[in-house]
């Protein structure tokens, strides 16, 4: 009996392993995605100066906490191609939905960022210039663009990795903002 | 799929001319520097496919290396520095998984497997020799007996003086 | 027209494979000789048809036929010819054609060369092999057609990845595939034996040359890949524990176990069901590797372009093959019977321990590779398992393995005489301790484990030599008689000696280049002098060069030892404008003592303008890794050429062969 169980073990192990592999094939699963350690934590402490030669003020944790309503924080850079596509969507969210949008300009040369904003327009209320990328690490970002929803109490409630371009992505952001507003 | 493509684009964008750890990042103190190198081999670059931050040429990896060294200079322990990155990126950032219930199987599995293997082997050998003693197994054939003796004697003959 | 011929050939091959998967095996169970012998024709037909398809695809690459999507995506008219040819297997689809070609090649090999194999076993084996080719041919035709056309054809191809335009990398996949697809025939033999319900020493002897052939190529393929990573990637590292590397390493580890356990089956008619299990699992791991590389299920630096539909198909294929064969195993293995008895101290027990260690090491690698997936599935949390884990868990199984490798060949079958062995190994043990002591005295800064490992390498080396000397009675008899004995010794015995010596060399290389590696990373202006490992390296400046499809910045470095110039190193930073990428070409001064390894690049910060980023490494003993790997390959080949094993040679039915120690 023992021997029979022993001989059947390899087949059993193979079946279990196969189950995991099948689960792993789920097309919605992205093996490269990193879950955020920040969601449901307070905004990390940081203070960033404005982007040089722009009129937009800089961004800090204190500023984010003092707003008192849900707000969107978008991490962007002029060298990031998908950010360009996302820019129009963010502008529309600000102009049509009245979303309050803050920006973190990540590992960018200030002059490039200023040109970029000049060319495409500036939907951001405040922009912090994170030219060395340190604050990016505080936020645990794994690339640009990334967008966070902060509720009225300064708690990070949602994170979106990648450009917000598809209608589904926009709906997710709106829903997250609405949920953040409902809580406060 | 889309997100995969996106991360690829991102990676290319974030790639600079740099190659792994850069000279201007190195610390003057050789002891601290060697700790820095050791730690940065345990931390995973968060935008790369499967690389530690020590050998990665991505911008984020460079920033992580710089932060790591600043913390070393500030006198933090290795554990404190690792905790700093884990707080921000979760356990994903560790190439050497921490010991916790979810990783018990990972860390102890191989040793347990080996122990079980030894056990099975031991039981098998003993069962077989007992079967021979009981006469339930085939006894040695005369040929085998002779061969056995031959080996035995050969060994004895070979023994160094 | 050519692509259509290729596609037609593949379709025909599928039809032939279906015939071969049914006729011979049915013939074997109903006793129809003609049906059984049809396998020979169909196996040859299959290999011809797949060769035609492979040739057709290669032609499309050689003439840069940009009406074929695969060529468009994986070639460019500016590529040097050799890399156009290598482009044939550079993509998922193309490499699958190569995969299948090797699969049917091994089938045809057994059909044509395995003259001494009983007709029933051969027929069943070839049918099983055909089941696998039905799986892969249909996979190719339904999900990954290499001959798909594109309209309108573009003017030129899109791929020119310069990193991959390297002869080492071009040759790496064929060797690797030859190895791990080669294990398919061993798998087929095992399944056929299970169907017959009989495994005996003769079976082990028929299978042995095929196992060896696969193992030799896999060894060579892995070594070549590691060598390529060493000189091309610019870090001076040779192993990264990446999931895709692990995918080829696991079948190698288990294949090594199989090679050893099959010896026991061959010589002692025991370990039968274990050998069968290893044969099944080794090929299963090859299949798993194929799945990992092509499904994108894990993050890796070198995976193919990913498509979930393909993943599902391969997983289905995997499921049927692996679960099917293991279920058959669970059902039939009890009928194989257990073999002879042996003592806990005997060659059988030694080889069993070898197998246990290798199998556990394989499980460790498998576990570490897939564990992030398990954790994600169960807890939805993401973790990483990287080199620090593998080094910490893998090495503790390898060191004992290397230690017993020194003793193993001294053990006699059934019951070994431990005091007698100690008598003969006393001196060897002393030498190993002595070597470790000297290393410890000379190298005060390395980790203790490195010193211990060097001692272990010395132990295996001297013990293996001692065993060989005892066999030919070197020093006991006059030299001429010893040499005659050496000539009369079976080649397989020399093969084992050479391979085990190779392992000692491998350990030496691993330890040297890891524990005592030196590194200088600096910004340098022309005229800068760097001292490393007793060398003086003078940076003379950078020249701009123009290559066929790149622009390079070539650094000039003079290397001095004791004030005398010994060599000039020219590392390059190449920029490929068409591909839009750059590569680092390292410059290496190779000696048996160690490699001086230099790379150059532009500094990332603007503060260091006018300067160059130099990385100078000294890797002691690193070449012994490749020397060791070469000795493994040569040892395996020597063993393969043994008259007693030569494919098709009549097997000598002498009792004395059972007395010969395992090789």
Give the 3-state DSSP-derived string for B36-51, with helices as H, strands as E and coil as C.
Answer: HHHHHCCEECCCCCCC
Range of the domain at A81: 38-183
Any idea which residue has 């460790």 for tokens?
Answer: C364
CATH of the domain at A67: 3.40.30.10
**C646 domain residue, yes or no:** no
Q: Which fold has domain B2-98?
A: Helicase, Ruva Protein; domain 3 (1.10.8)
| Cα C486 from Cα C493, distance rounded (Å) | 10
Total domain count, chain C: 4
Instruction: Answer whether B17 sits within 8 Å of C582, measured CB to CB.
Output: yes
Q: Give chain B's end-to-end CA distance (angstroms, integer).
A: 73
C632 to A7, C184, C401: CA distances (angstroms): 33, 21, 16
Residue C366 lies in a domain: yes
pLDDT at site B6: 35
**C365 and C216 in one domain?**
yes
Looking at every residue in chain C, the average pLDDT score rounds to 89
Domain C-terminal end among C337, C371, C390 = C390
Closest Cα in chain A, distance from residue B2 (Å): 9
| CB hemisphere CA count around B125 (13 angstroms) | 17
Structure tokens at A115: 């040109």
DSSP alpha helix (H) spans, C114-166 = 119-143
Q: Which pLDDT tens digit goes with each residue over C1-42?
A: 789 999 999 999 999 999 999 999 999 999 899 999 999 999
Pull the structure tokens for residue A123. Answer: 């939907």
Range of the domain at C571: 518-624
> What tokens were used for A37?
């350690």
**Is C382's pLDDT higher than 70?**
yes
Residue A2 lies in a domain: no
* Residue in A with minimal Cα distance to B4: A30
pLDDT at C304 over 90: no
DSSP state of B94: B
Spell A72-97 as b/e; 16+ CB within 10 A means b. Answer: bbbbbbbbbebbeebbebbbebbeee
* Burial class (CB within 10 angstroms; exposed 0-12, middle 13-18, buried 19+) of A50: middle
Is residue C643 a part of any domain in this protein? no
At C163 the pLDDT is 67
Q: Does A30 map to a domain? A: no
Number of separate domains in chain A: 1
Contacting B residues, span 20-39, partner chain C, CB-CB under 8 Å: 20-24, 26
Band (pLDDT 50/70/90 cuts) for residue C171 is confident
Please tell me the distance from the alpha carbon of residue B61 to that of residue A60, in angstroms, as a whole number. Answer: 24
Q: Is the predicted pLDDT of residue C588 greater than 90, yes or no?
A: yes
Can you tell me the distance from the alpha carbon of A57 to that of A49, in angstroms, rounded to the nearest whole number?
8
Q: What backbone phi and psi angles, to 5 degrees, belong to C559?
A: -110, 125
> Which residue, among C626, C649, C646, C627, has the nearest Cα to C637 in the 3D structure?
C646
State residue C463's pLDDT score: 95
Q: Is residue C94 part of a domain?
A: yes
> How much of chain B is helix, strand and coil, in % rounded to 5?
65, 5, 30
Helix (H) or strand (E) run with residue C438 in it: helix C418-442
Q: Which positions in chain C touch A17 (Cβ < 8 Å)?
A: 370
CA dihedral (A36, A42, A46, A47) positive or negative: positive
Q: What's the pLDDT band for C305 if we cut at 50, 70, 90?
A: low
> With an 8 Å Cβ cutoff, is B114 touching chain C?
yes
Which of C333, C358, C390 delimits the end of a domain? C390
Q: C142 and C10: one domain? A: yes
Instruction: Choose the weakest-confidence range: A93-97, B125-129, C83-87, C500-504.
Output: B125-129
Are residue C594 and residue C582 in the same domain, yes or no? Answer: yes
Q: What pLDDT is stored for residue B4 in this prediction? A: 34
Task: Evaluate whether residue A134 is within a structural domain.
Answer: yes
CA–CA distances in Å: residue C601 to residues B27, C413, C544, C607: 20, 59, 13, 15
Contact assessment for residue C232 and residue C627, using Cβ atoms and an 8 Å cutoff: no
Q: Is residue A16 part of a domain?
A: no
Alpha-carbon distance values, A105 to A44, B71, C85 (Å):
16, 24, 46
Residues C332 and C207 in one domain: yes
List pLDDT tens digits, range C325-353.
999 999 998 888 776 778 888 898 899 99
Q: Residue C322 has what DSSP assignment? A: I
Is pLDDT at B137 greater than 70 in this prediction?
no
Judge whether C308 is closer than 8 Å to chain A, CB to CB. yes
d(CA C61, CA C82): 10
Q: Are C133 and C225 part of one and the same domain? A: no
C122 part of a folded domain: yes
Structure tokens at B50: 């499967």
CB contact under 8 A, A79 and B64: no
- The answer, yes or no, to whether residue C547 has pLDDT greater than 70, is yes
Distance CA C156, CA A100 (A): 48
Residue C77 forms contact with A (CB below 8 Å): no
Q: Residue A31 and residue C298: Cβ atoms within 8 Å? A: yes
Q: Which residue of B has its CA nearest to A25?
A: B1
Tokens at C395, concatenated:
């090495």
Cβ(C426)–Cβ(C434) under 8 Å? no
Q: What is the ipTM of this complex?
A: 0.87
B91/C615 touch (CB, cutoff 8 Å), yes or no: no
Say which DSSP state A49 is in: P
**A33 within a domain of the structure (yes/no):** no
pLDDT tens digits for C88-113?
988 888 999 999 999 999 999 999 99
| Preferred mutation among C247, C287, C327 to probe A, highest tally of A CBs within 10 A | C327
- By CA distance, what is C600's nearest residue in B? B19
Residue C418 CA to residue C402 CA, distance in Å, equals 18
Residue C138 belongs to a domain: yes
DSSP C134: H
Inside any domain, residue C639 = no
Q: How many CA atoms lie within 13 A of C616 on its CB side?
A: 27
CB A45 within 8 A of CB A138: yes
Task: Categorize the per-residue pLDDT at C646 as very low, low, confident or very high, splitting at 50, 70 and 90.
Answer: low
> Closest by alpha carbon to C74, among C144, C177, C178?
C144
Contact B9 A81 (CB under 8 A): yes
- Convert the pLDDT of each residue in C409-431 to its tens digit: 999 888 888 888 898 899 999 99
* C85 is a domain residue: yes
């Amino acid at each position: 009996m023992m021997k029979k169980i022993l001989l059947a073990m390899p087949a059993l192990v193979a079946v279990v392993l196969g189950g995991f592999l099948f689960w792993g094939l789920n097309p919605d699963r992205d093996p490269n995605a990193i879950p955020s350690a920040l969601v449901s934590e307070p905004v990390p402490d940081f203070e960033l100066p404005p982007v040089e030669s722009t009129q937009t003020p800089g961004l800090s944790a204190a500023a984010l906490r003092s707003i008192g309503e849900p707000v969107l924080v978008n991490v962007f850079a002029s060298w990031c191609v998908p950010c360009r596509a996302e820019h129009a969507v963010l502008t529309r969210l600000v102009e049509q939905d009245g979303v309050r949008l803050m920006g973190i300009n990540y590992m960018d040369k200030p002059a490039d960022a200023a040109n970029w904003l000049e060319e495409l327009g500036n939907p951001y209320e405040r922009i912090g210039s994170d030219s060395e990328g340190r604050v990016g690490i505080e936020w645990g970002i794994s690339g640009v663009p990334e967008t966070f929803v902060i509720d009225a109490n300064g708690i990070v409630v949602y994170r979106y990795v990648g450009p917000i371009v598809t209608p589904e992505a926009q709906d997710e952001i709106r829903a997250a903002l609405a949920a953040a507003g409902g809580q406060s | 799929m889309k997100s995969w493509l996106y991360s690829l684009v991102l990676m290319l964008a974030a790639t600079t001319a740099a190659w792994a750890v850069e000279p201007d990042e190195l610390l003057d103190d050789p002891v601290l520097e060697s700790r820095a190198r050791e730690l940065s081999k345990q931390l995973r670059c968060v935008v790369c496919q499967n690389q530690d931050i020590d050998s990665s040429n991505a911008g984020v990896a460079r920033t992580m290396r710089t932060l790591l060294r600043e913390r070393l200079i500030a006198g933090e322990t290795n554990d404190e520095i690792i905790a700093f990155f884990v707080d921000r990126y979760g356990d994903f950032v560790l190439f050497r998984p921490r010991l916790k219930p979810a990783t018990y199987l990972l860390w102890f599995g191989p040793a347990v497997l080996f122990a079980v293997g030894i056990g099975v082997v031991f039981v098998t050998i003993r069962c077989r020799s007992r079967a021979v003693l009981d006469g339930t197994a085939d006894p040695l054939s005369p040929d085998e007996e002779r061969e056995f003796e031959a080996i035995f004697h050969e060994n004895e003959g070979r023994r160094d003086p | 027209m050519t692509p259509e011929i290729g596609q037609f050939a593949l379709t025909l091959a599928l039809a032939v494979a279906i015939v071969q998967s049914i006729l011979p095996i049915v013939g074997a169970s109903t006793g129809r000789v003609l049906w059984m012998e049809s396998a020979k024709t169909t196996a040859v037909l299959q290999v011809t048809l797949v060769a035609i398809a492979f040739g057709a695809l290669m032609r499309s690459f050689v003439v840069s036929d940009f009406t074929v999507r695969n060529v468009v995506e994986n070639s460019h008219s500016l590529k040097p010819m050799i890399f156009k040819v290598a482009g044939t297997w550079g993509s998922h689809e193309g490499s699958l054609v190569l995969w299948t070609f090797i699969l049917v090649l091994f089938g045809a090999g057994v059909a044509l060369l395995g003259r001494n194999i009983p007709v029933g076993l051969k027929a069943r084996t070839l049918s099983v092999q055909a089941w696998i080719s039905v799986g892969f041919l249909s996979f190719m035709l339904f999900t990954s057609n290499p001959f798909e056309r594109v309209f309108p054809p573009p003017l030129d191809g899109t791929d020119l990845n310069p990193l991959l335009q390297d002869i080492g990398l071009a040759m790496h996949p064929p060797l690797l595939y030859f190895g791990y697809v080669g294990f398919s025939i061993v798998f087929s033999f095992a399944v056929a034996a299970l169907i017959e319900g009989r495994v005996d020493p003769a079976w082990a002897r028929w299978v042995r040359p095929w196992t060896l052939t696969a193992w030799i190529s896999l060894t060579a393929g892995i070594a070549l890949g590691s060598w390529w990573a060493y000189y091309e990637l610019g870090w001076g590292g040779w192993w990264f524990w990446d999931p895709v590397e692990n995918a080829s390493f696991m079948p190698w580890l288990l294949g090594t176990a199989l090679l050893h356990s099959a010896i026991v089956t061959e010589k002692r008619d025991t370990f039968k069901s274990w050998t069968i299990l290893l044969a099944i699992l080794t090929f299963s791991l090859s299949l798993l590797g194929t799945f990992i590389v092509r499904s994108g299920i894990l993050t890796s630096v070198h995976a193919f372009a990913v498509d979930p539909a393909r993943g599902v198909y391969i997983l289905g294929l995997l499921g049927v093959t692996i679960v099917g064969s293991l279920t058959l195993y669970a059902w039939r293995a009890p009928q194989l019977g257990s073999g002879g008895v042996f003592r806990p101290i005997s060659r059988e027990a030694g080889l069993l321990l070898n197998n246990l260690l290798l199998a556990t090491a394989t499980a460790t690698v498998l576990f570490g590779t897939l564990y992030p997936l398990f954790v994600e599935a169960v807890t939805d949390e993401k973790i990483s398992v990287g080199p620090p884990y593998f080094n910490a868990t893998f090495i503790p199984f390898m060191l004992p393995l290397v230690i017993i490798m020194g003793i193993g060949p001294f053990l006699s079958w059934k019951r070994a005489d431990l005091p007698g062995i100690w008598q003969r190994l006393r001196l060897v043990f002393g030498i190993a301790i002595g070597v470790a002591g000297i290393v410890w005295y000379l190298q005060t800064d390395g980790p203790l484990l490195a010193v211990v490992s060097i001692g272990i390498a010395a132990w295996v080396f001297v013990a293996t030599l001692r065993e060989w000397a005892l066999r030919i009675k070197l020093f006991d008899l006059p030299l001429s008689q010893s040499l005659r004995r050496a000539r009369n010794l079976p080649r397989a015995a020399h093969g084992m000696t050479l391979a085990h010596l190779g392992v000692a060399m491998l350990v030496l290389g691993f330890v040297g280049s890891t524990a005592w590696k030196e590194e200088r990373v600096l910004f340098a202006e022309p005229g800068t002098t760097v001292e490393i490992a007793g060398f003086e390296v003078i940076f003379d400046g950078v020249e701009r060069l123009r290559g066929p499809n790149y622009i390079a910045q070539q650094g000039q470095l003079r290397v001095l030892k004791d004030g005398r110039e010994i060599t000039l190193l020219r590392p390059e930073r190449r920029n490929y404008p068409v591909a839009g990428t750059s590569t680092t070409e390292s410059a290496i001064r190779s000696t048996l003592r160690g490699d001086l390894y230099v790379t150059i690049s532009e500094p990332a910060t603007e503060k260091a303008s006018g300067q160059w980023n130099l990385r100078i490494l000294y890797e002691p003993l690193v070449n012994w890794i490749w020397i060791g790997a070469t000795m493994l390959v040569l040892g395996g080949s020597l063993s393969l050429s043994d008259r007693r094993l030569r494919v098709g040679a009549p097997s000598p039915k002498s009792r004395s062969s059972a007395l010969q120690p395992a090789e």
